[in-house]
Structure 1
Amino acid sequence: MANSTQQTGSSTSAFVSTLIPNLIIFAVFVSLFIALKNKQTRVYTPRTTVPTVPKECQPDPSPSGAFAWVNHLLNKSQSWMIQQAGIDGYFFLRFLFFFATVCFFGACLILPILLPVNATNGKPDSKGFDIISFSNVENKNRFYAHVFCSWIFFGLIVYGIYRELYYYISFRHAYQTSPYIDSLTSTRTLLLTSLPKDLDDNETEIKALFPAATSVTFARDYKDLTKDVKERTKLSNKYEAALNKVINKSVGINMKLIKKNKELPEKTNEVESYIPEKKQPHHKLKPFIGEKVNTIEYAAEKLPELNEKIKTQQDEYLHAKSIGSVFLEFPSQLELQRALQAVEYYKPFRKSGTQAVSNATPDDIIWDNLGNSYYVRLGKKAIAVTVLTLMIIFWAIPVAVVGCISNINYLTEKVHFLRFINNMPHVLMGIITGLLPVVALAILMSLIPPFIKAMGKVSGLVTYQQIDLWCQDWYYAFQVIQVFLVTTCASAATSVVPAIINDPSSAMFLLAQNLPKASNFYICFILLQGLAIPSGALLQIVTLILSKILGRVLDNTPRKKWSRFNSLSQPSLGVLYPVYSLIGVITVCYAIISPIIIAFAVVAFALVYFAYLYNLVYVMGHAMDSRGRNFPKAMFQIFVALYLAEICLVGLFVMAKAWGPMALEIVMLVATMAAHLYLKWRFIPLYDVVPISAVYDAAGSENYHYPIDDQGKKEIAATGKSFWDGTTSPADAETVASSGKADASVHKPQPTFVGGEDNGESGHSVSMAALSHFFKPAENLNFQKTRSHMPAFLNETVEYTPEQVVPYLHPSVVSEEPNFWIGRDELGLSATLIGKSNGLLVSDENTEFNEKGKPEYTGPPPGYEEAVKA
C-alpha cells in the first residue's frame, strides 16, 4: 500500500520538485538581469553601443525601468520590428507568437470542457494530474467531447498554418521586390550546379541559353591554391600571436624591473633583452616529429614566400579546371527571375540534376561542394542520411534511460535492488523523477546540432542557408523521435512493467491507459523550457562570463579585444526552431489527452517570446539573410504534431473500444492529410521565386497587378515554360499590349514603404490581424498591404563602388595578403619588430598599453573596411 501511495504521488511530487527549482532559477536570473541591464550595456544592449552595427539596425535605447522594455517593445510597429530583429528574427518571433496564440485560444476552448469531463465520475484510484487526464474517463460516450474538441483545435491550427504561409509568401514577394533588396548583387546572381558536360566551361553556350546575363563566372578547381592559403592563414595566426606575446611579456618584465628599482637592459627596444631566444615562441613544422623553429623568425621568412606563390596562382585563376558550376549575373532581378523560373523546364538541366540557387552571397557558398555532380551529390547525401538515421536509432538508448528515470518508482516491484527508492522522501523522489531526467535530456540534445551541420556539409549542400535548413529538418526529427516518442514510450512502458510481466496479453491496453501519464514528464519539461531557459537567455550568462572573466584572460591581443567588443552573437535558427517546435508537438499531442499541459504551454511560449523579443532587438546580430526560409518549414513541421496527436487519439479510442469517436477521429486525420498535401502544392513552389507581375507591380506599373488569388503560382509556371519556347509570359503579354515594350515600364522599384512608427499600424509588433479579419487573409495579408508595413530603409538602394564589388570567386582567389596587428609600446618593441618583419604588413596603429601593462585598441584593426551587403 505504501508503494502504491509512493507511485501515485510521484506526478505531484515531480511537478512540485521541478516547479520550485525552476521558479527559483527564474527569479534569480531575472533579478540579476534587472540589476545588470543598465550597468553592463555591452552585454545587455550591444546593438545600441557597438559601433560596427549598421545605423539602420541600431534600436533606440532600452528603457531603464525593470520591465519598461516589455511595454516599449510591444508598442513598436511591425515595420520597426522587422528592421531591428531582421527578417529571420521577425519570423522566429512570429512563430513563437503563433504558438502562444494557438495555445491561448486552445486553452479557452479545451480546459472548460475537458477538465470537468475527465475529472468527474472517473476511476477511484487516480491521483494528481491523472485525475484530469484522458486516462480517468470510464464512460465511453464522454470521448465524443474529446473528438469534437480535437476537431475545433486541430482545425484552428491547420487554418492558422494556411494563413501564416499565405502571409509569408506575400511578405517574401514584397521584400524581394523592395528597392534595397532589388539592388543587391546577390539578388541578381544565379548559381547553377551540376551542369551538363557540354555546358561546363562553355561561356558561349551559356550566354546563348541566358542572353540577358551580363557576367558568366565558372567555379574552378583551386585545390593547390586553397592549400597554400590555408597554410598562410595558419602561420599568420601563429605569427601575430607570437608577436603580441613577446611584446606583452617584455612590457610586463620591464614594469616589474621598474617597480623593484632594478637595472634596466641597455637595449630596451629589443625583445632579446627581456626574453632569451630559447624562451621565445616556437612551434613544430610537423606534429610531434617536425623540426622545432622560432615562430617569429620562421614566419618572417616563410610568409613572404607564400604571399608571392599565392599571388602568382591568383593571377592565373582563369586557367584552373572548371568543376561544373557557374554563377550568372543579370542586370536586374526581373531577368534573374525569368531565368530561375525556367531552369526546371530545360530538359538537359533536368537530366543532369542541375540545381538553381539564388540570393546567396559569396560568403554563403560552400565552395568545396560546387564540384559535385548530381550522382556524387546523391551518394554523399545517402551516406549523410544513413549516418544520421543510425544516430537517431542508437541515440534512443540513452534517451530511453532518461525516460525510464522519470517513472523509475514503478519498477521497484520487480527490480528488487531499486526498492530503496520507496524509502526516499517525496521531495527527493520528485527531483529524481522530475528535474533530473529533464536536465539530462536537455544536455543530450544539445550535443546533436554541430554533428548534423557537419553531415549537411558531407551531404553536398552548396550554401550555409541550406545547411541551416538541413539542421532544422534533422534536429526536429531528433527532437520528435527521441524527446517525444522514445521518452513517451519508455516512460509509459516503465509505469506498467510489473502489470505486463504478470499479464503480457494486456500490454497494448495497459500502454494506452498509461500513455496519458507520460504527460507528467512533459509538464516538467515545459516548466524547464518556459522558466529556466528564457530567463537564462535574458541574463546572457555565457556572454557575461566571457566578457567579464574569461575575456580578460583570453583576450591578450588588440585584435581579440576588438573582436570581442565588436562581434555580436548570432542566433542559429536551424537549432532554435526545432527546440520550440518540440514544445508545440508536445502541447498539441497532449492537449486533448492531458489538457492541463496547454495552460503551462501558454506561459512557456509567452516567456520565451518576451526573452527573444528583447534579445533579437538589443543583443543578437542578424543571422544569415535567408529571407525567413526557416519559418514556412517550421509551419509545415506542425503537421507532424497533428498526425501524432490524431494517431494517439485513434489508438486510445481503439483500446477503449470507443468505435464512434475512433471513426470521427479518423475523419479528422484524413482531412489533415488532405490539407497538408494541398498546402504543399499551393505554397512550396513559391518559396524562392517571385512572379514577374510582382516586379512590375512594385516598379509602379499601372498595367498589371500582383495576382492575389494564387500569389503567382500559375504565372510562375507559365513564365518558366515560355522562356524556352519563345512565347511571352502572361505578365509580359499584358504589359506589351498596353505599352508596346515589355521592359519599358520596368525600372527601379518605387519607394512605397512608409516604415517607422507612422505606417498606420499600432499595437503589438507581430500580432496577427484582428479577429474580424482573421478569416480574410487575401484582404489583410496581401502583397500591397504587406508592402505598406515594410521598413523605410528598404526604399534605399545599394550603390557599389568598384572596390566594394565582391566577385563570385573562390575565397582563395580573392584572399588578400594578411595584416598583422600588434600593441604599440613606449619601449619601441613594436617598432623594432615591424622593422624585422621582412616587408610583411605589420602595424601598431590604433593601439596602446594601459597603466597595467595590458594592450588596448583605440580604433579598428589595419585593413578594416565596413562591410557592404552583397
Structure 2
Amino acid sequence: MNAEFNLNIALNSNTAISAATIMGSSDQHVLIMDTVNDVIGALGEGDNRGGSSSYNKLIYTVVPLLVIAIPLVLAFLYLRQKQHRIYAPRTFLNTLEDANREKTPKPAYGMFNWISAFVKLPDQFVLNHQTLDNYLFIRYFRMLTYICLVGTIITWVFLLRVNYNGGGGQSELDMFTFSNVSDPNKFYWHAGCAWVFLSFVMFVITRETLYYINLRQAYLTTPRNATRISTRVVLFTGVPEDMRHERWIKADFFGVKRVWLATDCTELESLVSTMNDTAISLEESEIKLSTIATKKHLKGEKHFADDPERAGTATQQWIAPKERPSKRIALVGRKQDAIDMYREQLKTTIPKVEALQKRHVQGYEKLLPAAFVEFETQRAAQLAYSDPFWRQPGKMEAACIGLASPNEIIWPNLAMGKPERWTRTIIANTIVVLLIVFWSVPVGLVGSLADIENLAQNFPPLGFVNKLPSSTKGAISGLLPTILISAILALVPIICRFIARKAGSITLAQVELRTQGWYFAFQVVQVFLITTFSSGASKVAKEIWDGPAQTPKLLADNLPTASTFYLSFFILQGIAVTASTIFQIAPFLIFNIVSPFLDTTPRRKFERFVTLTGLSWGDTYPKFTLFAVIAISYSCIAPLVLGFAMLGIYFLYLAFRYNVFYVLTMAVDTKGDAYGRALQHLSVGIYLAEICLIGLMTAQGGEGPAKLMLILLILTVIYQTYLNMILAPLTNTLSDELMAENEEEALAHANDQGATVPIDVDGDGVQPKQAGPYFENKTANAVAAHFKRGGLFAPFLFNGSKSKYPALRRQLWDAFPGQPAPEIPEETLKHAYHHPAITAKPPTLWIVRDELGVSAQEIKETKKVIEISDEGARFNEKGKIEWDEDDLRQAPIWKPRVEY
C-alpha cells in the first residue's frame, strides 16, 4: 500500500510541478492559472497501461485554454485602440531620444488595420532603433521556429509512418512514438533522421554564432557606438595599493585620457539616501498641504482671511495649524510639523553630502582596488582590455569594457580582490548545484497536494477532505499546488541573482549572464529531466519494483509516451502564454487599478508613465531555450512534439515581436552576450537526444543504430569543442584590423562634415610600459593571433569571402552615416565614472499648483532649502491631481539621458 501511495504522489506531484513551471514563467500569467486545473486533469489522470487517452488529454487541454486565450486576444485588439500607454508607448513617448530614432512608427489604431504595418516592419528595425539585445531576442524565436520547421519536415516525412506501422501495440498518439516500433532494424530510420536533423541543428548554431560575431563587430564599431566614451573605458580591478593614483596609472600606459579611481562610498550612499528620502517626504507633505486647502475651497468652506489672528500667508489663511501635515518623532512620541521638520533636516543633510562628495572627488576618502581608465580610441581600449599581460598573477585585471552607465556597476564588489572573488565563485557554484539537486524536496511536498484524496486516506487528520464537494477537492488538488509551486519556482531566478551578486559579479550584465547559466541548468534538470522521468517511468515503477530485469524494456516502452505531456506543454505556451504575453496582464492591472490608488503625486505619475519595462535576460532566455531543448530531445523519439513546438514558438515570436517593437525597452545591456550563451545552451538538446536514443535503441536490441548514434555523439563533442575553441574568444573582443579600417573611414566622414573624431589608426601606445621584452615578443604576437584566429570558419568571419560582415556593416553605417554620438559636456565627463552618490544632486521637488496661492507660498519658503516647482501639475475641478502628459520634457523632474 505504501509503495503504491508513494508512486501516485510522485506522478501527480510531478504533473502539478510541470504545469506550475509553465505558468510561472511570468507574473502576468497569474490570471490564467485556472486553466492549469484542466491541464492537470487531462495529464494527471491515471495512465492506462492497456491503452492511451492521449486524444482526450489534448482536447481537454486545448478547449479550456482557448476559452481563456480568445477573450484575452479580443480584449487586446480592442484596448490597444484606447490605452496607448500600455500597448504602444514606444510610438509617442517624447522622453525617447529623437536623435537615436528610438520611437516606432505609429500603426493604425483600428482593431485589425494595424496588422499590415506590423508585418511589413522588418526585424532589423529594432537593430537600428533599439539595442542589440532586443534585436537578437526576437531573432532567437525566429531561429527556433526555423529549426522546428525543418525538423518537422524531416521527421514527419520519414518517422511518422515508421512509428505508426511499428507493430508495438501502442494506441492513439502513442502510435507515432519510438515505443511503437518493435523491430530493432527499423531504428536505422531513427538513427538516419537523427544524423540529418541534429547535424542541421549544430549547423544552425554555428551559422548563428558566426552571424552574432559579425553583427557584434559591425554594431559596436559604427561611428555611433565607437565614439561613445563607454567604448573607450576599461574597468581594472585588483589594483595594487601603491598603484591607486591617477599619475601612476597614466604612467603605466600610453594614450590614457582620463582615470577615475573608485572610492568607498558607504557613508556617502547612506547620506544621499537620507537626503533623497527626506526630500520626497517634504514633497509629499507640501502636496498634502495644498490638497487640504483645495478640498476646503471646493467644499465652500470659509477661509481665515478676515480673522485678524489668521491673517498672513495663503497657507495660514486656509489651513489651521492642527490641520497641517505632522510627523510623530520616534521614541519621544511628540508630533511635529512635518514640513518644518523636513526643511530643517535638509538644511543639515545637503551640506554634509556636498562636503563629503568633494572629499571623494579629491581622493581623500578610502580608495578601492579598482580604476576606470579612458583611452583615446576604442581600438586602444580593446587592445588594453584583451591584453594577456593583465591576466598574469599579481597584476590588476581588465574586468570589463563598454559600461554605458555607472548605475550598471555593483560598487560594493569592486572592493573584492581576486582570491576573494574566486573563493566566492566556488562557493556560489556549489550552492547552486545543491539548489538544483535538492529543489525537488520542497516542490515535491507541495506537489503532493495534487493527490489530496490519497493523502486524506492515509492521514486521518485530513479525513475531512473526502467530505468536501468534488469541485472544492479539484481546486485543492489542482489549483492550490500549482499556485504554491509557481510561487516557489518564481524564487529560483531571484535566488540566483542574489547569489551572483554575492559571488562578486561586477556589473548587472554579469549578474544576468550568471543567472542565465544557472537557471538554464535548473530548468533542464528540474523541469525537463525530472518531469520526463516521472511522466514516463513512474507509471511503471511498480513493475520495475516487481521485476528489475525488465527495467530496460519497460523504460524503452514508456519514456517515449511521456511526450504526450509536452504536446500539451507547447499547446499551453502557444495559446495561453502567448495570449497573456500580448495582452500584458500586469501592466493592464497596474495602470487601471493600482496606479490610481498608489500614484498620488505628480512625481509618481510621471515616473510610472515614462518608465518602460524591459526583459530580464537571466530568466527569460532559459525558459524559452528549454522549449527548444525539449523539442530537439524528443525530435526522433516523438516527432509530433516538433510540430507542436514549432507552432507554440512561432506564436510566442509574434507576441514578443509586437512587444519589442511597441512596448519594451532595455533592462540590462549585455551587448548580445545573452544571445551567444543561449546558442550554446541549445547544444544540450542535441546531447540529450543522442544519449536518449542510444539508451532506447540499446534497451530494445538495436545495437547497430545505437553504434551510429554513439559515433554521432563523439563527433558532436569533437566539433563543438573545436567550434568553441575557435569562436569563443571572438565573442568577447573586437577585431583590431577592422577597428583600424573603421577609424580611417570615420576620420574621412568627420573631415567631410567638418567634425573631429579621435583617431589612432596605428593603434600603438596602449602597451603597459613595464611589460618590456616579454610584452613585445610573446604578448603582442598572442594578441595579433587572437584577432586573426578563425580556423575553418575564417571565410565566414569579418572580411572573409563568405562573411556577412560587409553587408551588416553597410546596413548599420547607412542607418547613422558617419554620425558620432552626441557630445557630452566636459563637466559631466569629469565625473562620468564616479560612484553615482558622488554626483548626486538634491532632487527637484514637484508639487501641485493651486488657485489659492498655497503652492506659491510654499515654493517661496522651500526654495531657500531645495529646488521646487509646481509647473505642469494642477488640481482639477474635483480636487484630483492632473499633470501635463503631452510634453514630458517640460516636467520639472525630467532629465535628459546621457549616453556614455
Normalised by the size of structure 2, how large is the TM-score?
0.82
Residue 865 (structure 1) aligned with residue 895 (structure 2) = yes
CA displacement 1:678-728 (0-9 Å, x = unmatched) = 12111211123112111122234699xxxxxxxxxxx99x99999963469
Structure 1 residue 513, shift from structure 2 partner: 2.7
Residue 825 (structure 1) aligned with residue 850 (structure 2) = yes
Structure 1 partner of 2:421:
377
What is the aligned residue count? 806
SS class of match (2:371): strand
SS class of match (1:360): coil
Q: Distance in 2 between matches of 1:553 and 1:487?
A: 42
* Letter of the structure 2 residue corresponding to residue 867 of structure 1: R
CA displacement 1:178-216 (0-9 Å, x = unmatched) = 1010111101111001124443x1434422321111112
Which one of 876, 884, 887 corresponds to residue 850 of structure 1?
A: 876
Q: Distance in 2 between matches of 1:496 and 1:420?
A: 31
Distance 1:582-1:79 versus aligned 2 partners, 3 A rule: closer
Structure 2 partner of 1:494:
538
Structure 2 partner of 1:655:
699
Which residues of 2 match residues 55-94 of structure 1 at below 5 A? 55=98, 56-64=101-109, 66-77=111-122, 79-94=124-139
Q: Distance in 2 between matches of 1:283 and 1:371?
A: 39
Mean CA deviation greater in 693-702 or 84-93: 693-702
Structure 1 partner of 2:79:
36
Q: Distance in 2 between matches of 1:551 and 1:843?
A: 23
Asked if 2 retains the 8 angstrom alpha-carbon contact of 1:13 and 1:430, the reply is no
Asked if 2 retains the 8 angstrom alpha-carbon contact of 1:572 and 1:623, the reply is yes
Which residues of 2 match residues 37-436 of structure 1 at below 5 A? 37-55=80-98, 56-64=101-109, 66-77=111-122, 79-124=124-169, 126-199=170-243, 201-255=244-298, 257-258=299-300, 262-266=301-305, 269-270=314-315, 273-274=318-319, 277=322, 280-282=325-327, 285=330, 294-317=337-360, 318-342=363-387, 344-346=388-390, 349-352=392-395, 354-361=397-404, 362-400=406-444
Q: Distance in 2 between matches of 1:776 and 1:183?
A: 21
Structure 1 residue 631, shift from structure 2 partner: 0.7
CA RMSD of aligned residues (A): 3.8
Q: Distance in 2 between matches of 1:672 and 1:605?
A: 25
* Letter of the structure 1 residue corresponding to residue 598 of structure 2: L
Q: Distance in 2 between matches of 1:226 and 1:113?
A: 65
Which one of 492, 498, 503 corresponds to residue 448 of structure 1?
A: 492
Asked if 2 retains the 8 angstrom alpha-carbon contact of 1:181 and 1:794, the reply is no
CA displacement 1:762-791 (0-9 Å, x = unmatched) = xxxxxxxxxxx9999955543212112226
Structure 2 partner of 1:797:
820
SS class of match (2:403): coil
SS class of match (2:58): helix
Structure 2 partner of 1:606:
650
Q: Distance in 2 between matches of 1:549 and 1:40?
A: 14
Mean CA deviation greater in 614-623 or 431-440: 431-440
* Letter of the structure 1 residue corresponding to residue 838 of structure 2: V
Structure 2 partner of 1:808:
833
Distance 1:58-1:16 versus aligned 2 partners, 3 A rule: same
Structure 2 partner of 1:834:
859
Q: Distance in 1 between matches of 2:253 and 2:853?
A: 60
Asked if 2 retains the 8 angstrom alpha-carbon contact of 1:89 and 1:616, the reply is yes
Asked if 2 retains the 8 angstrom alpha-carbon contact of 1:17 and 1:430, the reply is no
Asked if 1 retains the 8 angstrom alpha-carbon contact of 2:509 and 2:670, the reply is yes
* Letter of the structure 2 residue corresponding to residue 140 of structure 1: P
Q: Distance in 2 between matches of 1:722 and 1:106?
A: 56
Structure 2 partner of 1:750:
none
* Letter of the structure 1 residue corresponding to residue 342 of structure 2: A
Structure 1 residue 403, shift from structure 2 partner: 7.9
Q: Distance in 2 between matches of 1:7 and 1:842?
A: 77
Structure 1 residue 404, shift from structure 2 partner: 7.8
SS class of match (1:591): coil
Structure 2 partner of 1:468:
512
Which one of 780, 784, 804 corresponds to residue 806 of structure 2?
A: 784
Q: Distance in 1 between matches of 2:472 and 2:164?
A: 28
Asked if 2 retains the 8 angstrom alpha-carbon contact of 1:158 and 1:675, the reply is no
SS class of match (1:562): helix
Structure 1 residue 80, shift from structure 2 partner: 2.3
Q: Distance in 2 between matches of 1:178 and 1:353?
A: 30
Which residues of 2 match residues 641-652 of structure 1 at below 5 A? 641-652=685-696
Q: Distance in 2 between matches of 1:298 and 1:428?
A: 55
Structure 1 partner of 2:26:
none
CA displacement 1:643-671 (0-9 Å, x = unmatched) = 12211112212222321111111111111
* Letter of the structure 2 residue corresponding to residue 62 of structure 1: P
* Letter of the structure 2 residue corresponding to residue 396 of structure 1: S
Structure 1 partner of 2:64:
21
Q: Distance in 2 between matches of 1:404 and 1:492?
A: 18
Which residues of 2 match residues 423-822 of structure 1 at below 5 A? 444-700=488-744, 725-726=775-776, 779=801, 781-790=803-812, 792-793=815-816, 795-798=818-821, 799-805=823-829, 807-822=832-847
Structure 1 residue 158, shift from structure 2 partner: 0.6
Asked if 1 retains the 8 angstrom alpha-carbon contact of 2:379 and 2:739, the reply is yes
* Letter of the structure 2 residue corresponding to residue 185 of structure 1: I
Distance 1:270-1:312 versus aligned 2 partners, 3 A rule: same
Q: Distance in 2 between matches of 1:398 and 1:634?
A: 28
Q: Distance in 2 between matches of 1:385 and 1:733?
A: 34
Q: Distance in 1 between matches of 2:693 and 2:463?
A: 34
Q: Distance in 1 between matches of 2:355 and 2:746?
A: 54
Q: Distance in 1 between matches of 2:236 and 2:680?
A: 27
Structure 1 residue 456, shift from structure 2 partner: 1.5
Distance 1:500-1:431 versus aligned 2 partners, 3 A rule: farther
Q: Distance in 1 between matches of 2:799 and 2:600?
A: 56
Asked if 1 retains the 8 angstrom alpha-carbon contact of 2:452 and 2:476, the reply is no
Q: Distance in 1 between matches of 2:348 and 2:784?
A: 60
Asked if 2 retains the 8 angstrom alpha-carbon contact of 1:403 and 1:488, the reply is no
Mean CA deviation greater in 544-553 or 808-817: 544-553
Structure 1 residue 295, shift from structure 2 partner: 3.4
Structure 1 residue 504, shift from structure 2 partner: 4.0
Structure 2 partner of 1:708:
none
CA displacement 1:492-543 (0-9 Å, x = unmatched) = 3331133234334434542343222222222222222221112112112221
Q: Distance in 1 between matches of 2:697 and 2:477?
A: 29
Structure 1 residue 390, shift from structure 2 partner: 2.8
Normalised by the size of structure 1, how large is the TM-score?
0.85
Q: Distance in 1 between matches of 2:473 and 2:152?
A: 30
- Name stretches of at least 5 consecutive residues in structure 2 with no aligned partner: 1-44, 748-762, 786-794
SS class of match (2:816): helix
Q: Distance in 1 between matches of 2:375 and 2:176?
A: 63
Q: Distance in 2 between matches of 1:189 and 1:73?
A: 38
Distance 1:291-1:789 versus aligned 2 partners, 3 A rule: farther
